[in-house]
Structure 1
Amino acid sequence: MQTNSSTSVYIIGGAGSGLGNAIAIALLKKGAHIIALGRSAEKLEVLQNQYSSQADIVCGDITQTETLSHLLQMVSNKHIAGICINAGGPPAATITETSMQDWDMAYQTVLRWKVAMVKALLPQLVAQQYGRLLFIESATVKQPMENLVLSTAFRLAVTGFVKTLSNEVAAKGITANILAPGLHDTPAIERVFKKKQTQTGLDRQAIQETETEKIPVHKLGNAQQFAQLALWLMSEDAGYITGQTISVDGGMVKGIFG
């Protein structure tokens, strides 16, 4: 992991909570310098206050041009060691419940900004002949889940983008991979459980027990453990791994190549 220079940074999306926060903290504990992206100034400031010499923050909506421009200014004179491309997903809904406005919004929140961010930062990675791009998506790209059609459809588009990207930049010292989490014990799981509650009338605890029982390891994922794999994929040691979508799902995906 390239952590020996104050000019070398990791960009971590969704750093205020959940998987992004776990990745950010794991990097900081290893002495890395990060730029933490997120919408909640309060949550990002907790990181910055605790690791004042290592963490800078960009608070804003990364789907908006001004937030991306702010990020580009911050990294213009730095070596980018890795980028964790991560943010929340669209609302849980069935196909019949969605409107075309929902689909337009999901395109913006799941796919478009990731393409824009990569295209904006890629010239810098090419110039330095090094980079680790890690996308945090969902196990639904391998096995769709109920009520997540908006997420599934556009995250599948992300997998096509990342696979193509990985082939185009591999010879330039840049890798591009996807981690596909299943059900993890993070705030993001609440939209799934709340939707199930609405559909079934069961209470929150019963929903969690039912969904957990479907997972072969019979428990929700741990964000801190997830972060360790993310760190490795963003390290120098992972230079021969690219174009992969790796499930972190406790065995939930049933396919042979899960």
Structure 2
Amino acid sequence: MNLGIDGKLALVTASSGGMGRNIARTLAAEGANVLLFARTAEKLQAVAEEIEGDYGVKAHVVAGSMLVADDVARLSGTLASLGGADIMVLVTGRPPNPLRDTLKETEPERWQEAYENQLLSVVQVVNAVAPQMLDKGWGRILAITSASAKQPMAVHALSTVFRAGVTAYLKGLANELGPKGITVNCVAPALIDTSHRSGSAAYTPAQAERRVSMTPLHRMGTQEELAGVVAFLASAQAGFVTGSTIAVEGGMIGSLF
């Protein structure tokens, strides 16, 4: 299937590794040029060279933080010089570790960190980049949230609250930007394999086994499966899907809607 994004410019945040990198690679495989945004210039450049070598598209790099106004302004300026983003994929940080029960989340600093990393960062980038999309008559805005925003999970209060906030924010944007031809959606993953990570973010064997038991498919989802859903929502064929949250969680969520 031709997704109709050949030659489009896709901004992907947090794209120096992990989920963001995989999403950028998937969009590039469909012919989209990409702009990679994350904190570490060296890692971004390595990913950009990898993408250009593998897919023959343009991969641009802007190093910076979604929380630093000057960095976001540089991102916006670079995108403007390239004609503006057609696709924006917002990947953000994880909540502070270790995860805790809800009533044990008593430290204001942890709430502030989660708010900034998961919600404020999205708002700042959207405010800077989305206005450039308004005159194009076509656009795709996507945020990676979490299935916990649909079905709250134990010890995920910091994630659930602010991922739900992103969901509400994007629902409002979908209503406002629809007349401009811009769709706005969330992708809500869970049970996705994180073996590409190291350290505290990776699942232990016991955690992985428990997560496998939570899905009717009896396996973890892959990064490629998650990125494929993002690519479809960024496509021409998904032009009538907006204001939605698409769960990528192997059937874990028990509700009908």
Tell me the TM-score normalised to structure 2 length.
Answer: 0.88
Distance 1:4 1:212, change over 3 A: closer
Residue pair 1:13, 1:37 contacting (<8 A) in 2 also: yes
Residue pair 2:190, 2:248 contacting (<8 A) in 1 also: yes
How much does 1:170 deviate?
0.6
What amino acid is aligned across from residue 147 of structure 1 in structure 2?
V
Matched, 1:112 2:120: yes
Q: Identity of paired residues, percent?
A: 33
Partner of 2:101 in structure 1? 94
Partner of 1:242 in structure 2? 242
How much does 1:247 deviate?
0.4
How much does 1:192 deviate?
6.6
Tell me the TM-score normalised to structure 1 length.
Answer: 0.88
Segment of structure 1 superposing worse, 131-140 or 74-83: 74-83
Residue pair 1:183, 1:189 contacting (<8 A) in 2 also: no
Partner of 2:87 in structure 1? 82
- Report the RMSD for the aligned CA atoms in angstroms: 2.0
Distance 1:149 1:192, change over 3 A: farther
Q: Deviations over 1:106-131 (max 9, x none)?
A: 11111112112112222211122221
Residue pair 1:133, 1:175 contacting (<8 A) in 2 also: yes
Residue pair 2:86, 2:140 contacting (<8 A) in 1 also: yes
Residues in 1 aligned to 2:166 and 2:80: alpha-carbon distance in whole angstroms: 26
Residues in 2 aligned to 1:67 and 1:59: alpha-carbon distance in whole angstroms: 8
Q: Deviations over 1:159-183 (max 9, x none)?
A: 1111111011111101100000012
Which runs of 5 or more structure 1 residues have no equivalent in the other structure?
195-203
Pick 1 or 2: higher relative contact order, CA cutoff 8 A, min separation 6: 1
Partner SS state of residue 237, structure 2: helix
What amino acid is aligned across from residue 152 of structure 1 in structure 2?
T
Residues in 2 aligned to 1:184 and 1:42: alpha-carbon distance in whole angstroms: 27
Q: Deviations over 1:167-205 (max 9, x none)?
A: 1111110110000001211257975766xxxxxxxxx21
Partner of 2:111 in structure 1? 103
Partner of 1:223 in structure 2? 223
Partner of 2:70 in structure 1? 66
What amino acid is aligned across from residue 73 of structure 1 in structure 2?
G
Distance 1:193 1:223, change over 3 A: closer
Residue pair 1:10, 1:82 contacting (<8 A) in 2 also: yes
Residues in 1 aligned to 2:65 and 2:118: alpha-carbon distance in whole angstroms: 12
Residues in 1 aligned to 2:140 and 2:208: alpha-carbon distance in whole angstroms: 35
Partner SS state of residue 143, structure 2: strand
